[in-house]
Amino acid sequence: MTKAIFTFIFSLMLSVTVMAQTDEQQVSAAVELLRKAMIDADKPALEKIAAEELSYGHSSGLIEDKATFVQNIVSGKSGFTAIELKDQTVSVVGDVAVVRHKFIAETSSNGQPGKANIGILLVWKKQSGNWKLLARQAFRL
């Protein structure tokens, strides 16, 4: 009987651990979808992954809402030809996730090529079973 109880408790602990890992993996996958959607200027994907309440902050101090963020990517005003994410960390607490990484990109803003090497803080919120980007703040390294 003791072995059965131990096995049950161990299985329960393992399930909790796997669920936490699953959330982290889901958030990492959402970050990757965002990265690809930004490069591809994919309006439906950007609209799907961003929360309606999105606050999108640039390293210059400019703040955009969801509609402006999506429009600026899709129109090429804030375009990207390549984005690499480095040193990413993901921390999930309930239905909120905090992601930090270095953002190295080749840009094409209004047709002008450029480069970005900045730090990023992302806040994700699980809404209706999906991770949505709630806030993003870029900062100079």
Q: What local confidence, expressed as pLDDT, does residue 110 receive?
A: 83
Q: What is the number of domains present in the chain?
A: 1
Tell me the residue range of the domain where 109 lies: 2-140
Angstrom CA distances, 71 to 5, 37, 75, 87, stand at 56, 13, 6, 29
Q: What local confidence, expressed as pLDDT, does residue 18 receive?
A: 43
pLDDT at position 85 over 90: yes
Residue 97 dihedral angles phi and psi, to the nearest 5°: -130, 140
Instruction: Look up the pTM and report it.
Output: 0.83
**Chain center to CA of 61:** 19
When computed from its CA atoms, the radius of gyration of the chain, rounded to whole angstroms, is 18
- CATH of residue 103's domain is 3.10.450.50
